[in-house]
A and B are shown apart, each in its own frame.
Chain A
Amino acid sequence: MNEIERHTIAVLVDNEPGVLARVIGLFSGRGYNIESLTVAEVDRAEALSRITIVTTGTDMIIEQIKAQLSRLVPVRMVHDLTEEGPAVERELLLVKMAGTGDKRIESLRLADIFRARVVDSTIESFVFEITGSAEKLDAFINLMKPLGLVDISRTGVVAIARGAAKF
């Protein structure tokens, strides 16, 4: 009952000034964790944005997080994708590799296995783009580290429920 669980929560909000600050302030003010948070407008006509938050806590804390989010005035819907059923979770990663020779070739080979794409290249560098679960991206980063990894940028998790239903 008091075990720490990891939940992915989708929050649909009115896209108005300060809404992200409200959500983030709620997490910091009440001492909740944010493992990752992504946000973008998803419906311009309705001025709706979707925030995907990965968070951790006991079941009581997770319940609180959802209740606290729900009572923010610009929040339209809160869905716990982890609890409500199977969901697809994806993250995008950009990795910059620098170097020449064997390491460069090895990184290309591994990128191929991971289905990463090269989106920028010079004589002495690559930028790979890869999408997948957070775990897959972690694994890719670990493989790239000894091969000349110089920089990474990740989007954080976006998620959507499986099946035909909205949410």
Chain B
Amino acid sequence: MTAEQMNGAEMVIKALGDQGVDVVFGYPGGAVLPIYDALFMQNQLRHVLVRHEQGAVHAAEGYARSTGKVGVVLVTSGPGATNAVTGLTDALMDSVPVVCLTGQVPTHLIGNDAFQEADTTGITRPCTKHNYLVKSVDDLAKTLHEAFYVARSGRPGPVVVDLPKDVLFATGTYRAPETIEQRKSYRPQTEPDPARIAAAVELIANAKRPLFYAGGGIINSGPQAVKLFGELVEMTGYPCTLTLMGLGAFPAADKRYLGLVGMHGTYEANLAMHGCDVMINVGARFDDRVTGKVAAFSPGSKKIHIDIDPSNINKNIRVDVPVIGDCAKVLEALIAALKARRFAPDHAALGKWWKQIETWRKRDCLHYEQDDKIIKPQYAIDRLHALTRDRDTYITTEVGQHQMWAAQLFKFEKPFRWMTSGGLGTMGYGLPAAVGVQIAHPDALVVDIAGEASIMMNIQEMSTAVQYRLPVKVFIINNQYMGMIRQWQELLHGGRYSESYSSSLPDFVKLAEAFGARGLRATKPSELDDVIKEMIAIPGPVIADIATDQNENCFPMIPSGAAHNEMILGLDDKKAGSPISEEGMVLV
């Protein structure tokens, strides 16, 4: 055999190496044994053995979102692939670049209901950006390289490559990435149309009540886009709000930052969205959790929408100036055009607008009262932030109240530090994501802010953390309820807490010990700081069980079906009595 002749399994390893992959998250099985054999015989590519395939995809997502690189997953056929589906859908919704290699039964058995056969490309078609079934070893290298290109270019997303076992055994010729011809379809537009830039600049320059509304697109675009976005906010002096996916794209400590926008966003951010005259959407997608009632969304504003995915334009909200392109390139063009026209903001109008915003800000909508008896969940997150702010801290979350409190209260100053399941809202995301983050950043502090219900959905990944000595910290806001469910039942369903009580919870301290990790517990406010400090000081994985107030709700809240200016600030808010219209009841 010549150097470029190898079997399919070796080709997979070689292609991953050529794509710059240093780690794969996976779980072996019959159909992928040839790849595991090839893995065994090399020592460039590291494999992290998860405990469930869903965890493998979330770990790859955590890896990808904290590094900007493509996360790679390796699972077997049938159940291996179907278990990965939730993670793939999560990555699709949140635009995370992931390549997932799935084993498949040999080509001659496809369609015969063979052992561990599933129609993987059929099942994953709607939950991937693209997928492939490789039927010949001659197509293997090209397909793998194309999969990486598709995953990371344009709007990033998950790509599945289904690999029948006979293809992995067959011998063929390897092709390097640079020898692969580009396909004639699939050309994402990254350069903005100059006419649209001119139109956008015209609106930006003449705005009286402007607002930047920025999202995960900036972070996906990369550090350059984040830097340019900061410059644009700086040169305009306009206020800025971020979506859940965008946290960290602009420093939270900056006075021009109004906080999170949307259903649980701040009073000032949402009222600024409602009242602005020019909205500059940079890499966000007018998600229903941001817009609230579409018909009443920011009624008086002209809207600029910068997005790399043309299908996001006019999907939920009709915009005035769509700009298709990569955020970094669009921002660069906007800044250049503003400089060229010697832009200066309308200081009088802007001063008035800021004054208005400051009155909203004075409502202090995230305020809570902490007494000395029971830990408020918000206080737990505030203290976690205060005691970790001097470090380079990476936060992952599960899904629910704790996630929203983390988004509201944890202050992110840098991008790539916040990993959460936004679009799909996947409980069980946080711990495996933290595993992936810690693999990428071995010396950083990685904390999964969790709820006691969510953490049970992928708790098995503690075992992965212990095996690889990953010092991830699971910080459980334990209110013994599926808190967000309980909150909705309180507000919408007459306080009938149907199945939302977390019954028969494990003793999380003992559970941690059973996994070979350390367990800590805080039940009183006075114990909290010591527990957090100890959690950080322990060099290995820790579960910190924080017993919090069971009745606390996450406010502010825009009830579903309501507009931004109809948000409720707390239970004593007079709107809280019957917050949700019949129309809103049916929404999620």
Contacts and interface: CB of A to CB of B under 8 A. Distances in A.
Given A13-B185, A14-B183, A25-B125, A73 B311 contact: no
Interface string B172-185: 00000000000111
30 contacts: A14-B183, A14-B185, A18-B131, A21-B122, A22-B125, A29-B126, A60-B318, A63-B313, A63-B314, A64-B314, A64-B315, A67-B310, A67-B311, A67-B313, A67-B315, A68-B311, A70-B310, A70-B311, A71-B155, A71-B309, A73-B129, A73-B130, A73-B150, A73-B185, A73-B186, A74-B185, A74-B186, A75-B185, A76-B184, A76-B185
B564 to A, nearest CB: 22
Contacts of B150: 73
A71 B129 CA distance: 9
Decide if the interface of chain B is mainly helix, strand, loop or mixed: loop
B121 interface: yes
A133 B302 CA distance: 43
A17 interface: yes
Interface in A12-52: 13-14, 17-18, 21-22, 25, 29
A70 B121 CA distance: 20
A25 B309 CA distance: 19
A21 B185 contact: no
Interface in B105-132: 121-122, 125-126, 129-131
Contacts of A21: 122, 125
Contacts of B315: 64, 67
Nearest to B146: A73
Given A18-B121, A21-B125, A22-B125, A71 B183 contact: no
B211 interface: no
Contacts of A68: 311
Contacts of A25: 125-126
A13 B315 CA distance: 24
A22 B126 CA distance: 8
A12 B122 CA distance: 22
A74 B318 CA distance: 28
Interface residues of B, number: 22
Nearest to A29: B126
B409 interface: no
B125 A60 contact: no
Nearest to A48: B184
A63 B314 CA distance: 8
Contacts of A13: 185
Q: Is the interface on chain A under 10, 10 to 19, 20 to 34, or 35 or more residues?
A: 20 to 34
Given A13-B185, A17-B133, 14 more contacts: A14-B184, A18-B131, A18-B133, A21-B122, A25-B126, A63-B314, A64-B311, A71-B154, A71-B155, A71-B311, A74-B185, A74-B186, A75-B185, A76-B185
Q: What 8 A-B pairs are tightest by C-beta distance, nearest first?
A: A67-B311, A73-B130, A76-B185, A73-B186, A67-B310, A68-B311, A29-B126, A74-B185
Interface of B: 121-122, 125-126, 129-131, 133, 150, 154-155, 183-186, 309-311, 313-315, 318
Nearest to B150: A73
B379 to A, nearest CB: 43
A75 B310 CA distance: 14
- From B121, B126, B155, B318, name the one whose CB has the most chain A CB atoms within 10 angstroms: B126
B575 to A, nearest CB: 30
Contacts of B309: 71
Interface in A45-104: 60, 63-64, 67-68, 70-76
Contacts of B130: 72-73
Contacts of B183: 14, 73
A60 B318 CA distance: 8
Contacts of A75: 185-186
Contacts of A72: 130
A63 B183 CA distance: 25
A76 B129 CA distance: 16
Contacts of A29: 126
Contacts of A67: 310-311, 313, 315
Contacts of B121: 18
B349 to A, nearest CB: 31
Contacts of A17: 133
A29 B126 CA distance: 8
B158 to A, nearest CB: 13
Contacts of B125: 18, 21-22, 25
A49 B271 CA distance: 50
Nearest to A69: B311
A71 B310 contact: yes
A60 to B, nearest CB: 6
B321 to A, nearest CB: 16
Contacts of A74: 185-186
A15 to B, nearest CB: 11
A64 B129 CA distance: 17
A12 to B, nearest CB: 9
A73 B150 CA distance: 8
Contacts of B318: 60
A50 B515 CA distance: 57
Contacts of B311: 64, 67-68, 70-71
A95 to B, nearest CB: 36
A14 B184 CA distance: 9
B127 to A, nearest CB: 10
B275 to A, nearest CB: 25
Contacts of B184: 14, 76
